[in-house]
Chains A and B, each alone.
Chain A
């Protein structure tokens, strides 16, 4: 049954439970959580360590599967897709921004941004055009030949964002993207994410501990012990 994208919702999480097993012990991380995110929203997720933020993000990005419940992104039931289907789907529809950037150290900034495009049927010229556009958007056109080790933390995170948007995904998920940055760099990255939402109409899910980051979101939700406990409009 196809019932995603209901009323313009790009993300629908319905009654999701997620538990892990450690030996004989069952660890419940998400407990019947439901969530809807409309297209073009910048949603902030906060909560203490172990509250299930990253787990929720992984489920929405198709990196993990719920123990119960369903996850829809657009018209795709992500929770029912195979690993290979998810890989193909992620390339097209999800851009991921990590706390520690996770750029490949052996590749230049240009090559790191180009990496997801290698999985799509694009000509070299098309790839180049998209990479240059993404680097231009994050303001790093002049650093494209630099390796990650030659860039500052803020610059590396910009490359990470360029890599996340280069395939023009439906959804950008950012897991503590400012967590490893100084205040000034963090501010620049948050400005960039806000700008991406405004200019490209991207839907952004941001997991953060940083209140300064949280207030930049359109809507802020708190997770505690696997449940959404608070809804708060910020902007």
Chain B
């Protein structure tokens, strides 16, 4: 206890230096904590599940995937043709719709990005919506019911609603853009998504989009819309386990229905992993360059502070040896000082980052795929002190070793 007190008092000896070292450590631990939280999220979503898997069926050779909506019926059955073939426990069609509130002003704020789905599937198939509880679940069920009853309904995310400057119950008109040009839809806002990953998108009834695609030739001299036969972006099929997934993949691959275009079936995690391939270099850089560079810098910051401290206190360390402190105790004293700084600053930084990001900001925007926002991992509460501690040990070992080897006779030969 007294030894710890001595360590603590030594750290307080030069408050400015200790404060600056602590600040430097906190900043670097913050950066690494954020980076590792993102990587942990990516690892989690690309980790293969063993049970209750979602299989994704997409066009095999083309990105973005565009399949005929007619594929949906047979895919929903898992392409089962024979008695005993496996059928998915649930399924969901995905059709994206992109429109704008103002054709003259194509800003992000005016975009209406919506997922055209079978409304009831929102509650059973969508990540983050299938496990809602309490009031949020009730509100979503009410919105889904309204979407089923009102083919022109839309359930919107909080950010999207804020951009439209509308309220639930009001109407909005979206003009199709890009491949959706010519598909103008009128919606009534029937509900909101719970805050979180769906803040920036909406969900519409797929019947509405499909009817509009069907009726397009009536208004355009019999000409079909560009997406008429390729409006299905992907299909989600739920299966109980890996074995079922493998059987389902076999059935779909062998089915004669999906020749042009051909389709492929993969797990949601491998689908996301394939999609993340586009960000491979960025993710590699974060994992193997940015985070290690921060840790090395952290060790150097601490090494610098401890080196100066040891050099300044050479005589004092010699006095401790004279009093009977062993070389190992001197080593531990100096390592203890750097550990106190590193672990303390690491813990403070991680705890502060966790509290501010998760509780204060409600997550940090990470608008790729459907991640939307990400939270700081609870593991950060041990990452921080571990990072600070290990960097402190690595950075202070040489100065501590120099302190351990201070030769009393050399020091006092000059003094006396």
Contact = CB atoms under 8 A, between A and B. Distances in A.
B409 A116 contact: no
Interface stretch (B9-17, B64-72, B146-154): B9-17
A64 B408 contact: yes
Contact of B319 (A53, A55, A102, A114): A102
A102 B413 contact: no
Interface in B221-246: none
A61 B326 contact: no
A141 interface: no
Given A55-B409, A107-B9, A63 B322 contact: yes
A152 B323 CA distance: 22
B324 A88 contact: yes
B412 A63 contact: yes
B319 to A, nearest CB: 4
B324 A119 contact: yes
B212 to A, nearest CB: 78
Interface string B6-42: 1001101100000000000000000000000000000
A116 B326 contact: no
Interface in B144-194: none
A102 B315 contact: yes
B366 interface: no
B410 to A, nearest CB: 9
B2 interface: yes
Interface residues of B, number: 27
B408 A87 contact: no
Given A84-B327, A104-B316, A119-B324, A114 B409 contact: no
Interface in A104-153: 104-107, 114-116, 118-119
Given A102-B315, A107-B9, A91 B324 contact: yes
B336 to A, nearest CB: 14
Nearest to A104: B316
A104 B322 CA distance: 13
A102 B323 CA distance: 11
A91 B323 contact: yes
B94 to A, nearest CB: 66
Interface in A71-114: 83-84, 87-88, 90-92, 96, 98-100, 102, 104-107, 114
Contacts of A118: 2-3, 6
Contacts of B13: 105-106
Q: Which of B6, B326, B413 has the most CB of A within 10 A?
A: B326
A207 B408 contact: no
B415 interface: yes
Q: Of B321, B327, B409, B415, which is in contact with the most chain A CB atoms at under 10 Å from its CB?
A: B409
Contacts of A104: 316, 319
Among A53, A104, A107, A114: residue with most chain B CB under 10 A: A104
Contact of A87 (B3, B319, B326): B326
B326 A64 contact: no
B412 to A, nearest CB: 7
A185 interface: no
A84 B326 contact: yes
A contact residues, range: 20 to 34
B330 to A, nearest CB: 9
A96 B321 CA distance: 11
A41 interface: no
B341 to A, nearest CB: 15
A135 B315 CA distance: 24
B408 to A, nearest CB: 4
A61 B316 contact: no
B62 interface: no
Contact of A58 (B327, B329, B408): B408
B324 A58 contact: no
A159 B184 CA distance: 90
Given A102-B319, A106-B13, A175-B416, A87 B409 contact: no
A163 interface: yes
B328 interface: yes
Contacts of A91: 323-324
A53 B329 CA distance: 29
Contacts of A70: none
Contacts of B323: 90-91, 96, 115-116, 119, 163
Contacts of A107: 6, 9
Contacts of B3: 118
Contacts of B208: none
A75 B322 CA distance: 20
Given A106-B9, A106-B10, A107-B9, A116 B324 contact: yes
A54 interface: yes
Given A55-B409, A64-B407, A98-B415, 10 more contacts: A54-B413, A58-B408, A63-B322, A84-B326, A84-B327, A115-B6, A116-B323, A119-B329, A175-B416, A176-B416
28 contacts: A54-B416, A63-B322, A63-B409, A63-B412, A64-B408, A64-B409, A84-B327, A87-B326, A90-B323, A90-B324, A92-B324, A98-B319, A98-B415, A99-B416, A102-B319, A104-B316, A104-B319, A105-B13, A106-B9, A107-B9, A114-B2, A115-B6, A118-B2, A118-B6, A119-B324, A119-B325, A163-B323, A176-B416
The 7 closest A-B pairs by CB, nearest first: A91-B324, A64-B409, A87-B326, A106-B9, A54-B416, A102-B319, A63-B408
Interface of A: 53-55, 58, 61, 63-64, 83-84, 87-88, 90-92, 96, 98-100, 102, 104-107, 114-116, 118-119, 163, 175-176, 207
